[in-house]
Amino acid sequence: MSRCGFVALLGVPNAGKSTLVNRLVGAKVAIVSPKVQTTRTRVTGILVENETQAIFVDLPGVFAPKRRLDRAMVDAAWRGVEEADAVLLVVDAPRALKRGDGDEEEKIVLDGLAKRGLKADLAINKIDLIAPHELLALAKRYSETGHIRDVFMVSAQTGNGCDVLKAKLLANLPEGPFHYPEDEISDLPARLLAAEVTREQVFRKLHKELPYSSAVETVKFEEREDGSARIEQTIHVAREGQRKIVIGAKGAMLKTIGQGARFELAKLLDRPVHLFLHVKVDPKWDEKRDFFQEWGLEFNPEKG
Would you say residue 302 has pLDDT above 80?
no
C-alpha 18: how far from chain center: 4
Mean pLDDT of 210-227: 86
**Banded model confidence at residue 31, pLDDT cuts 50, 70, 90:** low
Residue 208 has pLDDT above 80, yes or no: no
Residues 264-277, mean pLDDT to the nearest whole number? 92
Least confident of 26-30, 56-60, 61-65, 219-223: 26-30
Q: What is the pLDDT of residue 225?
A: 94
Domains with residue ranges and CATH for the chain:
3-171 (3.40.50.300), 190-294 (3.30.300.20)
DSSP states of 132-189: HHHHHHHHHHHHTTT-EEEEEE--TTT-TTHHHHHHHHHHTSPB---SS-TT------
pLDDT at 36: 43
13-22, 145-154, 273-282: least confidently modelled range: 13-22
Other Cβ atoms within 10 Å of 78 Cβ, number: 22
- pLDDT tens digits, 52-111: 999 999 888 888 888 888 888 888 889 999 999 999 999 999 999 988 877 888 899 999
pLDDT at 203: 86
User: Quick one: average pLDDT of 185-202?
Assistant: 86
Burial class (CB in 10 A: 0-12, 13-18, 19+), 222: exposed
**Of the candidate ranges 7-11, 12-16, 53-57, the one whose mean pLDDT is the lowest:** 12-16
Distances (CA, A) of 94 to 14, 130, 135: 12, 7, 10
d(CA 168, CA 161): 11
Least confident of 85-94, 181-190, 248-257: 181-190
Question: Cα separations (Å) of 161 from 10, 17, 28, 69, 88?
Answer: 18, 15, 19, 34, 14
Give dist(CA 47, CA 4) in Å, integer. 10
pLDDT bin (cut points 50, 70, 90) of residue 35 is very low
| DSSP conformational letter for 35 | S
End-to-end CA distance of the chain: 38
Share of the chain above pLDDT 90, in %: 62
Please report which confidence band the pLDDT of residue 212 belongs to, taking 50, 70 and 90 as the band edges.
Answer: low
More confident call, 187 vs 5: 5
Compute CA distances 269 → 139, 148, 154, 161, 265, whole Å.
Answer: 40, 38, 30, 30, 6
